[in-house]
A and B are shown apart, each in its own frame.
Chain A
Amino acid sequence: MIGRTAWRQVRDEPSMREDRQLLEVRGLTVTYQGGVKAVQGVDLTVDAGAIVALVGRNGAGKTSTLRGIAGFLRGEHVRVGGEILFRGRPDLSGLAAKGRDAAVVFVPEQDKVFPRLTVEEHCELAQLSDRQISAMFGLFPKLVGLKRTKCGVMSGGERQMLAIGVALAREPALLLVDEFSLGLARALALELGSVLRRIATERQVGVLLVEQSTVLADRLADRSYVLEHGVVTRVVSTG
Chain B
Amino acid sequence: MTELGHGSGSTAADVTVLDPADAGEVAFSVRRRSSTTAVSWGTRHDAGLLVVVVAGLVLFGLLGPEYDVYLLSSGLVFGIVAVGQEWLIGRAGQISIGGAGMMAAGAYTVAFLPHDLVTAVVPALVCAGIVGLGVGFIVGLPGLRFSGLYLLLTTIAFEFIATVVGRDIQGSRVSGFTVPVASSGWLDLASPRTFYFWVVVIAVLCGFLLWHYYRLAPGRAWQTIRESDIAARAIGIRTVRWKLIAFAGSSGITAVAGALYAYFLEGVNYTSFSLTKAIVITLMVFLGGTGSIWGAFVGGVIVTLAPNLINDLTHVVPSSGFQSWMATRSSFIDDLVYGVVFVVILTFARGGIAGGVASLRRRVVKVLR
Contacts and interface: CB of A to CB of B under 8 A. Distances in A.
Interface of A: 32-36, 38, 57-59, 63-64, 67, 71-80, 93-94, 97, 110
Contacts, number: 78
B5 A74 contact: yes
A62 to B, nearest CB: 11
A78 B4 contact: no
Given A58-B21, A71-B4, A75-B11, A32 B33 contact: no
18 contacts: A34-B33, A36-B26, A58-B19, A58-B21, A59-B22, A64-B15, A71-B4, A72-B4, A73-B6, A73-B7, A74-B1, A74-B2, A74-B3, A75-B7, A75-B8, A76-B12, A78-B12, A93-B3
Which of A36, A57, A63 has the largest number of chain B CB atoms within 10 A?
A36
B14 A110 contact: yes
A32 B18 CA distance: 14
B1 A34 contact: no
Nearest to A67: B15
Contact of B19 (A34, A59, A67, A97): A59
A230 to B, nearest CB: 10
Most chain A CB within a 10 A radius of its CB, from B4, B16, B29, B33: B4
Interface string B225-238: 00110000000000
Interface in B15-51: 15-16, 18-19, 21-22, 25-26, 29-30, 33
B65 interface: no
Given A59-B21, A73-B11, A75-B9, A32 B16 contact: yes
Contacts of A77: 12
A33 B12 contact: yes
A35 B29 contact: yes
Nearest to A60: B21
A97 B33 contact: no
Given A35-B33, A74-B2, A78-B12, 6 more contacts: A32-B26, A34-B227, A36-B29, A59-B21, A59-B25, A74-B7
Contacts of B4: 71-74, 94, 97
Contacts of A34: 16, 26, 29-30, 33, 227-228
A210 to B, nearest CB: 13
Nearest to B21: A59
Contacts of B18: 110
A76 B2 CA distance: 9
A80 B15 CA distance: 14
A74 B4 CA distance: 6
Contacts of B12: 32-33, 75-78
A92 to B, nearest CB: 8
Interface string B175-210: 000000000000000000000000000000000000
A73 B7 CA distance: 6
Contact of A97 (B2, B9, B26): B2
B19 to A, nearest CB: 5
A229 to B, nearest CB: 10
A35 B9 CA distance: 17
Contacts of B5: 73-74
A74 B11 CA distance: 11
Given A33-B16, A34-B29, A93 B2 contact: yes
Contacts of B3: 74, 93-94, 97
A74 B12 CA distance: 10
